[in-house]
C-alpha cells in the first residue's frame, strides 16, 4: 500500500515538474483566530519562493489572503498583526480618557444597559460586536491599495467570499474597497454585525464556502493549494459557554461545505488546531507557528511548484491624500454637517493615513455611532473620502443596583434619549427606589462639537434617609430629608478639559419625622451660581492616574424667593500619580463652606463614608464648614483588584471662624475594591485617633451621576 501511495505521489510530482508554467492558486479557509495559521504556511511558501497566481479567501482567510495579494510578505503580515495587537479588535469600549468632558460629567449612571426600539421595548442587539474597531484596523492594513478598485489589478489576483443574508447566496467580491470586502467575509453570525453594502447585508462567507477552492479553479488555477482550518465538532462536555456554542453552530455548516471543497484541492495543508476556538487571539504566535510546522510537512510537494521569477512589489497609495469631496453615508438622525464637524477633516487639505484614522476614532469617541469608518474612492485621478456610519440606538434603558452602610438596597432606572428631542441633545430620565428615592430629569442641548456652549435644565425630587449616631458611632435614630427643585444654566465646554456653567436654582427642603436630635425644619431658596468641572481620570470607579476637579459657588439673597440669604462653596479634588503599572499615589481634597449664613444649620454639609472621611460613617456629622485631606497609596496587584492604604484629616468649623485645634479629626484606613460582573464591590476598615474601628461596605452603583447637575 505504501509503495502504491509513493508511486502515485511521484507521478503527481513529476507532472507538476513537467508543467512548471501551470498556474498556482491558494484557497484560504476561515477559522477566526485559527486563520492566523495561514501566516505560518505563507512563510514556508515565501521561503520556497513559490509563485502564487490566484488567491481566494474566506473570513480570516480573506484578510490574510488579501494582504498577501497586495504584496505584503508573510513576515510583514505577521509583524502587522502582532504589533497592532489584533487581539483587541473586539474591544469596542471607549476609554474614559477619550471621552469628551461633556460626556464625563454624567459619569457612568448604570451597571447595565438595554437598547430600546421605536416603541420603547427592549431589543436584542444584532451581534455581540459592531466590528467598528475591526474595519478601521483593516482600513489601516489595506490603505496602500486604496487606489485599486478591481482586485485583479493587485500583484496577485484576489477574490473573497461572503454570504448574502437575505438570499443565502454566495457573494464573491472581486472589486470595490478591499477592507469592506474583507469585513463582509468576516461577519461571523451573532459575533459581528452583518456588513451592509449597497443595501444588502453580508455575513461570514464560511457559511457557504469556507474553503473556496472552486473559486480558485474558476479564476484559472491549474494547481490548488487548500489551507484548511475548520475544526472538528466539539463534544457536549466542551460546550459550556456562549462563545463555544456559537463556534459550534458556525462549524456545522462549514464542515459540510469544506469536505466537498477538499476534493478540488491538489495539496491540502491542515494544521492541528482542534483545541483552539475561533476566538483564541491570545495564542496568536502559537497558531502562526503551528501553521509553519504543518506546512513544513509538505515541503516535498511544495518544492515542485513553479518559482517566482521577479520580486513582488506592494500596492502603493500616496502617503498623503487631498480629497476633492468628503461625503457621509448611512446617517439618519445626525446631520452631515454635524458628522463632518466630529470628524474634523476638510476638502483640499492633505492628510496622512494616521490622521484619517485618528479623525474617525475621535468621532467614534462621541458614542453616537455603532460604527464609523473611512472609504477612499479613486476615480479620474481624484480621491474622494466617504465616511460610512451606523448610528447607535437613540434610546436605551440603564439599570443600577447598589447597597452600602447607610442604604440597604437602592434600585435605579435611567432612560437615555440621544438626539431624540433635538439634534446634538441628551435627555436622562432617572428614578431611584429604596432607602434613597429620587426622580431626576437632566436635559442638555449642545451648540458645538468638541467645544462650544450648551443649555441645561434639571428638575429633581430627592428623599433620603439620614441617621443620628451616638458617641460609640452606633445608629440611634433616623430621619428623612426631602428636597425638590430645579436648576438651569448656560455653560461652556472645551474638548476633554473643562466645563464651566452659569446657573440659576430654586428649591425647597425639609426634614420630617421628628426623631431624636433632629428638628423639624423647612425652608426654600433660590439664587445664582457658577460650576467648574475638569476630569482626566482613566477610570471613574478605580482610577490609577488622572485628575478630577469639581467646584460650585452659589449665592442667594433673602427675599420673596429665598427664606434665608446664603453664600455656599463646595469643591473636590482627586489626583492620582502612577508609579509603574501597579501602584499610584493618591491625593484627595474636599472643602465646603457657608458664608454669611444667618442660620448655622442652614443646608449643612454631610460628612463621612468610604469615599469621604474614613473615621466616620456616611453623613455621621454635619457642618457649615469642613475640610478633608486624604493621602493614599493605591495598589492594583491583580486585574480588577484594587487596594487603598490611606491617612485622612478632617477639620470642622462654623460660620465665624476657620477652626480651632480641637476640631481636628484623624484616621487611618484600608479599602479593597473588586470589579465584579455585577458591579464594583468595596470593603474597608478605618481606625480613628481614639482607636475606634469603623467598617465600610459598598456594592454596585454607589455614586451620584448628577453631582455636577445639582445646585
Asked if 303 contacts 48 with a C-beta cutoff of 8 angstroms, the reply is: yes
Q: What is the mean pLDDT of residues 462-484?
A: 77
Q: Phi-psi region for residue 18, left (φ > 0), alpha (ψ -120 to 50) or beta?
A: alpha
Q: Within 13 A of 226's CA, how many CA atoms are on the CB side?
A: 23
b/e map of 501-532 (b: 16 or more CB within 10 Å)?
bebebbbebebeeebeebeeeebebbbebbbb
Asked if 364 contacts 358 with a C-beta cutoff of 8 angstroms, the reply is: no
C-alpha to C-alpha distance for 374 and 385, rounded to whole angstroms: 7
What pLDDT is attached to residue 340?
A: 87
From 573, 514, 512, 523, select the one nearest 548 (Cα to Cα).
573
Q: What is the mean pLDDT of residues 43-67?
A: 93
C-alpha to C-alpha distance for 202 and 217, rounded to whole angstroms: 24
3-state secondary structure 129-187: ECCHHHHHHHHHHHHHHCCCCEHHHCCCEEEEEEEECCCCCEEEECECCHHHHHHHHCC
Query: What percent of the chain has a predicted confidence (pLDDT) above 70?
Result: 87
What DSSP assignment string belongs to 524-536? EEEEEEEEEEEE-
C-alpha to C-alpha distance for 606 and 623, rounded to whole angstroms: 7
Asked if 23 contacts 221 with a C-beta cutoff of 8 angstroms, the reply is: yes
Query: 602 or 612: which carries more pLDDT confidence?
Result: 612
Beta-ladder partners of 668: 647, 687
Query: 560 or 426: which carries more pLDDT confidence?
Result: 426
Asked if 527 contacts 562 with a C-beta cutoff of 8 angstroms, the reply is: yes
Instruction: Provide the pLDDT confidence category of residue 625 given band limits of 50, 70 and 90.
Output: confident
Q: What is the mean pLDDT of residues 301-309?
A: 87
Burial class of 321 by CB neighbour count within 10 A (0 to 12, 13 to 18, 19+): buried
Q: Which residue has the cell 495561514?
A: 38
Asked if 499 contacts 533 with a C-beta cutoff of 8 angstroms, the reply is: yes
The whole-chain average pLDDT of the chain stands at: 83
Give the sign of the dihedral formed by CA 128, CA 275, CA 65, CA 225: negative
Query: 474 or 392: which carries more pLDDT confidence?
Result: 392
Residue 292's alpha-carbon distances to 43, 47, 354, in angstroms, are 7, 11, 32
pLDDT for residue 656 is more than 60 = no
Lowest-confidence pick of 380-389, 432-441, 579-588? 432-441
Instruction: Provide the pLDDT confidence category of residue 233 given band limits of 50, 70 and 90.
Output: low
What pLDDT is attached to residue 177?
A: 93
C-alpha to C-alpha distance for 151 and 133, rounded to whole angstroms: 24
Instruction: Provide the pLDDT confidence category of residue 439 given band limits of 50, 70 and 90.
Output: very high
Instruction: Provide the pLDDT confidence category of residue 515 given band limits of 50, 70 and 90.
Output: very low
pLDDT for residue 511 is more than 80 = no
Query: 472 or 568: which carries more pLDDT confidence?
Result: 568
Residue 37's alpha-carbon distances to 46, 228, 276, 435, 547, in angstroms, are 14, 10, 12, 56, 44
What pLDDT is attached to residue 18?
A: 46
Asked if 399 contacts 381 with a C-beta cutoff of 8 angstroms, the reply is: no
Instruction: Provide the pLDDT confidence category of residue 249 given band limits of 50, 70 and 90.
Output: low
The DSSP secondary-structure symbol of 257 reads H
pLDDT for residue 242 is more than 60 = no
From 411, 482, 481, select the one nearest 679 (Cα to Cα).
411
pLDDT for residue 563 is more than 80 = no
pLDDT for residue 514 is more than 50 = no
What pLDDT is attached to residue 516?
A: 47
Query: 374 or 105: which carries more pLDDT confidence?
Result: 374
Query: 230 or 310: which carries more pLDDT confidence?
Result: 310
Give the sign of the dihedral formed by CA 332, CA 334, CA 337, CA 340: negative
Query: 28 or 97: which carries more pLDDT confidence?
Result: 28
C-alpha to C-alpha distance for 149 and 146, rounded to whole angstroms: 8
Q: What is the mean pLDDT of residues 614-640?
A: 88
What pLDDT is attached to residue 496?
A: 74
Query: 169 or 3: which carries more pLDDT confidence?
Result: 169
What are the start-end ranges of the E strands in 639-663? Answer: 641-653
What pLDDT is attached to residue 633?
A: 95
Q: Which residue has the cell 442638555?
A: 444
> β-pairing, 54-58 with 112-115?
unpaired
Residue 679's alpha-carbon distances to 86, 108, 414, in angstroms, are 28, 11, 16
Instruction: Provide the pLDDT confidence category of residue 178 given band limits of 50, 70 and 90.
Output: very high
Asked if 402 contacts 701 with a C-beta cutoff of 8 angstroms, the reply is: yes
Instruction: Provide the pLDDT confidence category of residue 597 given band limits of 50, 70 and 90.
Output: low
Q: What is the mean pLDDT of residues 541-549?
A: 91
C-alpha to C-alpha distance for 462 and 439, rounded to whole angstroms: 7
Lowest-confidence pick of 252-266, 487-501, 692-706? 252-266
pLDDT for residue 562 is more than 80 = no
pLDDT for residue 568 is more than 80 = yes
How many residues comprise the chain?
711
Amino acid at each position: 500500500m505504501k509503495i502504491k501511495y509513493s508511486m502515485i505521489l511521484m507521478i503527481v510530482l513529476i507532472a507538476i515538474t513537467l508543467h512548471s508554467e501551470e498556474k498556482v492558486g491558494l484557497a484560504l479557509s476561515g477559522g477566526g483566530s485559527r486563520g492566523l495559521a495561514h501566516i505560518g504556511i505563507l512563510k514556508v511558501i515565501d521561503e520556497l519562493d513559490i509563485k502564487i497566481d490566484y488567491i481566494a479567501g474566506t473570513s480570516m482567510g480573506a484578510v490574510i489572503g488579501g494582504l498577501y495579494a497586495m504584496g505584503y510578505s508573510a513576515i510583514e503580515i505577521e509583524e502587522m498583526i502582532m504589533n497592532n495587537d489584533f487581539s483587541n479588535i473586539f474591544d469596542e469600549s471607549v476609554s474614559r480618557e477619550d471621552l469628551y468632558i461633556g460626556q464625563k460629567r454624567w459619569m457612568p449612571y448604570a451597571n447595565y444597559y438595554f437598547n430600546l426600539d421605536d416603541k420603547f421595548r427592549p431589543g436584542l442587539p444584532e451581534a455581540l460586536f459592531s466590528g467598528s474597531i475591526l474595519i478601521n484596523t483593516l482600513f489601516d492594513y489595506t490603505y496602500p491599495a486604496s487606489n485599486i478598485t478591481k482586485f485583479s489589478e493587485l500583484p496577485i489576483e484576489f477574490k473573497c467570499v461572503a454570504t448574502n443574508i437575505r438570499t443565502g447566496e454566495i457573494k464573491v467580491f472581486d472589486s470595490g474597497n478591499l477592507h469592506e470586502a474583507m469585513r463582509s467575509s468576516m461577519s461571523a453570525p451573532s459575533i459581528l454585525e452583518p456588513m451592509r453594502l449597497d443595501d444588502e447585508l453580508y455575513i461570514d462567507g464560511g457559511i457557504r464556502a469556507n474553503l473556496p477552492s472552486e473559486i480558485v479553479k474558476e479564476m484559472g488555477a491549474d494547481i490548488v493549494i487548500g489551507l484548511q482550518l475548520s475544526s472538528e465538532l466539539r463534544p457536549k462536555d466542551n460546550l459550556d459557554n456562549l462563545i463555544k456554542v456559537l463556534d459550534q453552530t458556525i462549524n456545522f455548516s462549514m464542515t459540510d461545505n469544506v469536505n466537498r471543497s477538499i476534493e478540488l484541492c491538489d495539496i491540502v495543508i491542515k494544521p492541528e488546531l482542534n483545541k483552539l476556538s475561533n476566538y483564541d487571539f491570545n495564542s496568536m504566535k502559537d497558531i502562526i507557528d503551528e501553521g509553519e510546522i504543518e506546512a513544513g510537512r509538505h515541503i516535498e510537494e511544495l518544492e515542485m511548484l513553479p518559482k517566482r521569477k521577479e520580486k513582488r512589489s506592494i500596492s502603493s497609495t500616496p502617503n498623503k491624500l487631498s480629497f476633492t469631496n468628503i461625503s457621509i453615508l448611512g446617517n439618519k438622525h445626525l446631520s452631515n454637517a454635524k458628522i463632518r464637524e466630529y470628524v474634523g477633516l476638510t476638502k483640499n487639505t492633505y492628510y496622512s493615513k494616521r490622521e484619517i484614522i485618528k479623525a474617525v476614532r475621535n468621532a467614534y469617541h462621541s458614542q453616537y455611532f455603532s460604527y464609523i469608518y473611512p472609504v477612499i474612492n479613486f476615480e479620474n485621478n481624484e480621491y474622494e473620502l466617504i465616511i460610512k456610519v451606523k448610528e447607535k440606538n437613540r434610546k436605551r434603558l440603564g439599570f443600577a443596583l447598589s447597597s452600602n452602610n447607610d442604604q440597604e438596597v437602592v434600585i435605579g432606572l435611567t432612560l437615555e434619549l440621544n438626539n431624540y428631542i433635538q439634534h446634538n441633545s441628551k435627555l436622562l430620565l432617572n428614578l431611584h427606589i429604596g432607602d434613597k428615592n429620587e426622580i431626576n430629569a437632566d436635559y442638555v442641548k449642545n451648540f458645538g462639537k468638541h467645544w462650544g456652549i450648551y443649555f441645561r435644565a434639571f428638575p429633581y425630587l430627592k428623599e433620603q434617609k439620614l441617621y443620628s449616631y451616638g458617641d460609640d458611632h452606633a445608629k440611634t435614630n433616623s430621619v428623612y430629608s426631602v428636597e425638590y427643585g430645579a436648576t438651569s444654566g448656560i455653560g461652556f465646554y472645551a474638548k476633554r478639559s473643562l466645563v464651566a456653567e452659569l446657573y440659576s436654582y430654586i428649591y425647597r427642603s425639609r426634614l420630617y419625622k421628628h426623631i431624636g436630635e433632629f428638628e423639624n425644619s423647612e425652608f426654600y431658596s433660590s439664587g445664582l451660581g457658577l460650576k467648574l468641572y475638569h476630569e482626566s481620570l482613566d477610570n471613574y470607579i478605580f482610577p490609577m492616574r488622572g485628575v478630577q476637579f469639581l467646584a460650585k459657588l452659589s449665592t442667594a439673597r433673602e427675599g420673596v424667593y429665598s427664606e434665608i440669604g446664603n453664600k455656599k462653596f463646595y469643591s473636590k479634588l482627586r489626583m492620582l500619580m502612577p508609579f509603574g503599572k501597579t501602584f499610584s499615589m493618591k491625593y484627595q481634597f474636599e472643602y465646603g463652606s457657608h458664608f454669611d449664613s444667618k442660620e448655622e444649620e442652614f443646608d449643612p454639609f454631610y460628612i463621612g463614608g468610604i469615599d469621604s472621611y474614613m473615621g466616620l460613617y456616611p453623613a455621621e456629622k454635619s457642618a457649615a464648614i469642613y475640610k478633608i485631606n486624604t493621602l493614599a497609596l493605591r495598589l492594583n496587584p491583580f486585574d480588577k483588584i484594587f487596594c487603598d492604604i490611606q491617612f485622612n484629616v478632617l477639620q470642622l468649623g462654623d460660620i465665624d471662624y476657620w477652626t480651632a485645634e480641637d476640631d481636628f479629626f484623624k484616621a487611618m484606613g484600608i479599602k479593597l475594591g473588586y470589579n465584579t460582573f455585577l458591579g464594583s464591590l468595596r470593603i474597608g476598615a478605618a481606625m480613628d485617633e481614639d482607636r475606634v474601628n469603623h467598617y465600610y461596605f459598598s456594592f454596585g452603583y454607589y455614586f451620584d451621576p448628577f453631582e455636577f447637575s445639582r445646585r
